[in-house]
Amino acid sequence: MNILNKLLDIIFSLWEILKELLYNIISFIIDKIKAAIDWFMNLHPYNKIIVVNTIISFFAITLPIAKYYIFETWFFINNPVAVYLIFITAMMLAGIFFHGQFVLGVKIILNAWYFLYIIYMWAFNAISKAPYILSKGFAFNLLAPAVYIAASVLLYLSGEE
């Protein structure tokens, strides 16, 4: 009987420690989420557009840009240059913390290159040799860099950088 009581005490103590640990972890996560929300709310509106445009960039990266029908099924073509948009998105988010004409120039050059390359791939049928139709992802691939360029230029012109 004494061993059973000690075993139950140990289990109860472990349960209390586990509850306290989970409470501390959840409190830490909630504090970090609140800090991120406060940081976002204090951003300039054009910087907020850049941060929210990350969602559009995510869709541009993950969605197929074209599809073709063969053997009674649809095959999807992923964006071969989507990896560059990951880099551009990281640079745009880092650009929130850095300011000036040089940073604006880098933002415009990177996004314009990506935008023009996507148009080049479509215009010269470089997406696929198979006959294809454009998919929704193609629009996201055009929209993401266009929004990044517009928000960056408007932020610079507003003088808030």
pLDDT digit string (tens) for the chain, length 161 residues: 688 888 888 888 999 999 999 999 999 999 999 999 999 999 888 999 999 999 999 988 998 888 888 888 888 888 888 889 899 999 998 888 888 889 889 999 999 999 999 999 888 888 888 788 888 889 999 999 999 999 999 988 887 65
Domain spans, the chain: 1-42, 44-158
pLDDT value of position 19:
94
10 is written with which tokens? 């140990």
pLDDT value of position 149:
94
pLDDT value of position 26:
96
pLDDT value of position 1:
64
Q: Could you tell me what percent of the chain has a pLDDT over 70?
A: 98
Residue pointed to by tokens 């907020």:
48
| Spatial CA neighbour of 109 closest among 140, 84, 80, 72 | 84
> Is the whole-model pTM more than 0.85?
no
90 is written with which tokens? 């990281």
Helix (H, G, I), strand (E, B) or coil at 73: strand
Cβ neighbors of 104 (< 8 A, separation 6 or more) are 152, 153, 156, 161
pLDDT value of position 112:
95
Helix (H) or strand (E) holding 69: strand 66-70
